[in-house]
Amino acid sequence: MVHSVFKILKLTLPNFLSDLLRSFFTALLTPISFSIKSGHFISSFKKSAFDEKLNPIPWYTYPSINFLETRSFSNKTVLEFGGGQSSIWWGLRAQNVVTLEGDHPVFSPTHEWAQKLKKSLPRNVELHEISMKTSESCQSDVINILKNKPYKEYDVIIIDGLYRSHMIPIAIKYMSSTGMIIVDNADRYDIFDGFKDSGLMKVEFYGYSPGVYLKSCTCIYFGKETSLLNSDVAINIPR
């Protein structure tokens, strides 16, 4: 539609004027189109992460979401430190998801958030509330829950909540040799220092997140055998 209009303008107007109008409307329409098609517009009003069709999406940067959408997780196990819309999104794509969410005694003293989230989760998502009183109690709860799970390693681990820097050694321990660790807001929370001596490589996805004005970074840490980041997977631009 837009290209057709530009084509007509180019045929009917002098070059300098059609070029000026094209530049003006490109500058005007591009951010509007991005906001609507990505779901950023509706997410801003909903104060939560959705795509343009109101499907839940992770609260990561859009470049990282676009990348993840091109990969298959149908036979993968997922471990989340911090739950939300992403728990639903992963549950619809992965074989099994274990989500550890903080009990947030100050913001949700009656556990309303966890109860609301549980009602929205697919059946293959296990949600556990974790103490947020101190970093030590949080870490202890996480370790106790994971050691009683049948999974000794996970294909995808996400650090997007709890005491994030304290989750790093646990994530590294439980990451499978072909797996990866996704860290949202990797530009904060001492994430760089936490992974510095891990021996893992990383790729950084900078950009906007659903309903957020400022740019941030979602980072993926991976090893040499990580299957989801190898060159055998074709480049596929999500639409």
Domain ranges of the chain: 2-38, 48-229
pLDDT digits (tens, 9 = 90+) for 167-182: 999 999 999 999 999 9
Instruction: Say if residue 149's pLDDT is above 50.
Output: yes
Closest C-alpha among 98, 211, 109 to residue 158: 98
Q: In terms of CATH, what superfamily is 48-229?
A: Vaccinia Virus protein VP39 (3.40.50.150)
Q: What average pLDDT does the chain have?
A: 87
The whole-number pLDDT of residue 8 equals 63
Helix, strand, coil content of the chain in percent (nearest 5): 40, 20, 40
pLDDT digits (tens, 9 = 90+) for 79-137: 999 988 999 999 999 999 999 998 765 444 445 777 778 888 999 999 999 988 899 99
Q: What are 164's two structure tokens? A: 């994030």
Where does 39-111 have alpha helices with state H?
40-46, 62-69, 85-91
Which amino acid makes up residue 123? R
**Between 75 and 234, residue with greater pLDDT:** 75
H or E segment and range at residue 219:
strand 216-222
The whole-number pLDDT of residue 210 equals 94
Closest C-alpha among 124, 116, 72 to residue 98: 124
Which amino acid makes up residue 125? V
Crossing angle of the two packed helices 164-174 and 135-147, in degrees rounded to 10: 20
What pTM value is reported for the model? 0.86
Instruction: Say if residue 6's pLDDT is above 70.
Output: no
**Between 26 and 130, residue with greater pLDDT:** 130
The whole-number pLDDT of residue 30 equals 84
Burial class (CB in 10 A: 0-12, 13-18, 19+), 219: buried
Rg of the chain taking only CA atoms, in angstroms: 21
